[in-house]
Structure 1
Amino acid sequence: MTPDDALDWRAPHETHVVSTLGVLRRGPGDPTFALAADGAVWRTTLTDEGAATMRVLQRGPDLVRVEAWGPGAGAAVALAPSMLGERDDTTGFRTGLDVLDDAHRRNAGWRVARTARVMESLVPAILEQKVITLQAHASWRRLVQKFGSAAPGPVPRPMRVVPSAGGWRAIPVWEWHRAGVDPKRAATIQRVAASAERIEEAAEFSHADAAARLTYFPGIGAWTAAEVAQRALGDPDAVSLGDYHLANYVGHALHGRDMTDDEMLDALAPWAGQRYRVIRLLMAAGLRGRPRRGARMAFVDHTGY
């Protein structure tokens, strides 16, 4: 099926499509994301011009083919280079630690994505607040399947486009319950959806101003703002403070001990401006975090509210 718009893009640096876009996937059943047998990444998005389905295929170390279908195809293709990390220049980046610099060389094509679609990252981040990831992904999947729209184009499997801001606001209370979302998170999503235009403006702000805009809204703290910055804003420095596991992971990976958030920030201070990248490199290097001896977050059933 001939795409409505397409682009053969040569990146200014090595770019790996699957690893760069993988952070946008919300679990293996995410109805907005698919990885095809030929290696192409399929992703849906809701642009200002309308819904779009994108097919993104690696054709060389720095060459990417982008195709799109739907009324938002042109806008989606125009944003594709940003989404693939066009602005994420790591020239001269060194950590000073051999194990991390080696991980950086081995993963040179991984870039910090910038979708510039803030609500698309904000809603699932809110769903992931204070619950286990598996539970949040199930909520996201159910809500998008039921209240999103069918993806345009020749999708490799049934896919959906996220609801509009009005669509999120229109979800009745009992459907949030059925999706396992407690009243606090549901109210936060509906609150930000009511101010979606102001939320989307953050994509063009400085990283500091974007964080200030997002955390202005009740229910959005530093953790949620950082999760959005890592996907929608292309921020290589965004640290997910308040994460259930992150501080201890970084503490053990770097110094072999538990850490508080403040201690983690001190440990990451030598890499200010690139702290999110360093955390990802710790993981890419295979450095072990805290041994799993303590309690894990439990599944919390919110359907009874």
Structure 2
Amino acid sequence: MAGRFAPGSVGTAVRGVLPRPVRAAARVRTWVPEGALELRLVLGPLRRGPVDPTFRAAPDGAMWRVSRTPGGPGTLRVSLVDGAVRGEAWGPGAEWLLERLPELAGAADDPSAFAPRHRLLALTRHRRPGLRLTRTGLVMESLIPSILEQKVTTDEAYRAWRALVRKFGDPAPGPAGPTGVPGGMPRGMYVMPAARTWALIPSWEWHQAGVDDKRASTILRAVRVAARLEEAAGMPPRQAQARLERVPGVGPWTSAETVQRSHGAADAVTVGDLHLPGIVGYALAGDRHADDAAMLELLEPYAGQRHRAARLILLSGQVPARRAPRMPRGDIGRL
């Protein structure tokens, strides 16, 4: 998606009421997109649960995001101001985050490449024109929580991510202040642990967080080659998926969930999901019992844009009523 930079959009600013004698200054950048943009739709997939310590949606509509970048930890506040995307960043990774602000907001995405062939998708795209696919340029921050989500409920995975990041991560850099300060950074935000820190987490801490040995071992294998996996951010999505899948325990489901976020991969449809085939099958063919093969056949007309098609289906609300009980929640922390 094309856009332009606002004049004088890079600089420094001091925000809000000072809760301390000196408050951290933010680096600021604005970017003006062409066309509609709905920030919550674009950045929403980066949020791992309602109390994700690395991502918060503020009451004022701003999105707060904490990342471990090649330049170091950084905190980014993203908001829409008069049609412009405004980014304010703190910490050693601030410059890296601001440099990639447009891509984070969907600048590298091309929604016009999608040609809906089903009325449902055409209507949903018309109703939600602000959908763009984000591109973070960071692999590990999406890979690790995706591994945690393997074969468990989302609540279990979110709880594990929250517990591990809070215990072993670092406090987020930024304008921490009293609760309730307008525009202030939400309390309890953390940078995810560095690769070496993940590698040193004892087995009992994984169990305490509700993570079984299989998922913990997969994460440990991934962080040992973290540098090589981060290099995949510069590869085409399919090549990136192939590199990720060389790590034992990382399959097509996990690699797709990762590159959807790290690359903004419009065609990286998630296979191996418990619910998605039935949702796609029901929306496009009235088949709530569709499997992966049937889902891929239904999405074949959208080759190159299959992930976007799936996103639009999920946004349409056209999902089958639940008939089976939810997946039972485990608690390996009691073992």
Same fold (TM over 0.5): yes
Deviation of 1:101 after TM superposition, in Å, equals 1.1
Structure 1 stretches of 5 or more lacking a match? none
Deviation of 1:106 after TM superposition, in Å, equals 1.8
Q: Residue 46 in 1 paired to residue 68 in 2? A: yes
Given the alignment, which residue of 264, 267, 292 partners 1:237? Answer: 267
Is the deviation greater in 186-195 or in 92-101? Answer: 92-101
Q: Deviations over 1:21-74 (max 9, x none)?
A: 01100000100111112111011011111111101011134x110000001100
Which residue pairs with 2:131 in the alignment?
110
Matches of residues 1-305 of structure 1 in structure 2 within 5 Å? 1-2=14-15, 3-61=25-83, 63-91=84-112, 93-154=114-175, 155-257=185-287, 258-289=289-320, 291-305=321-335
Aligned letter for 2:70?
D
Aligned letter for 1:297?
M
Distance in 1, matches of 2:297 and 2:136, equals 30
- Does structure 2 conserve the Cα–Cα contact (< 8 Å) formed by 1:127 and 1:140? yes
Aligned letter for 1:232?
S
- TM-score, structure 2 length as denominator? 0.88
Structure 2 stretches of 5 or more lacking a match? 1-13, 16-24, 176-184
Deviation of 1:177 after TM superposition, in Å, equals 0.7
SS at match of 1:184: helix
Distance in 2, matches of 1:43 and 1:92, equals 29
Distance in 2, matches of 1:151 and 1:78, equals 19
- Does structure 1 conserve the Cα–Cα contact (< 8 Å) formed by 2:170 and 2:193? yes
Deviation of 1:92 after TM superposition, in Å, equals 5.2
Q: Deviations over 1:234-266 (max 9, x none)?
A: 101111111011111111111112111011100
Distance in 2, matches of 1:110 and 1:271, equals 17
Deviation of 1:304 after TM superposition, in Å, equals 4.4
Q: 1:60 to 1:19 in 2, by over 3 A?
A: farther
Distance in 2, matches of 1:169 and 1:12, equals 43
Larger Rg computed on CA atoms: 2
Deviation of 1:96 after TM superposition, in Å, equals 2.2
Distance in 1, matches of 2:206 and 2:109, equals 37
Q: Deviations over 1:61-105 (max 9, x none)?
A: 4x1100000011001111111111111011253212222112112
Indicate the percent of aligned positions where both proteins have the same amino acid: 47
Distance in 1, matches of 2:330 and 2:246, equals 28
Is the deviation greater in 143-152 or in 7-16? Answer: 7-16
Distance in 2, matches of 1:18 and 1:90, equals 17
SS at match of 1:91: helix
Which residue pairs with 2:20 in the alignment?
none
Deviation of 1:109 after TM superposition, in Å, equals 1.3
RMSD between aligned residues: 1.3
Q: Give structure 1 regions of 4+ aligned residues with deviation exceeding 4 angstroms.
A: none
SS at match of 1:303: helix
Aligned letter for 1:40?
A
Aligned letter for 2:73?
A
Deviation of 1:276 after TM superposition, in Å, equals 0.9
- Does structure 2 conserve the Cα–Cα contact (< 8 Å) formed by 1:132 and 1:297? yes
Aligned letter for 2:240?
A
Aligned letter for 1:35?
A
Which residue pairs with 2:11 in the alignment?
none
Distance in 1, matches of 2:186 and 2:165, equals 18
- Does structure 2 conserve the Cα–Cα contact (< 8 Å) formed by 1:12 and 1:86? no
Distance in 2, matches of 1:288 and 1:174, equals 39
- TM-score, structure 1 length as denominator? 0.96
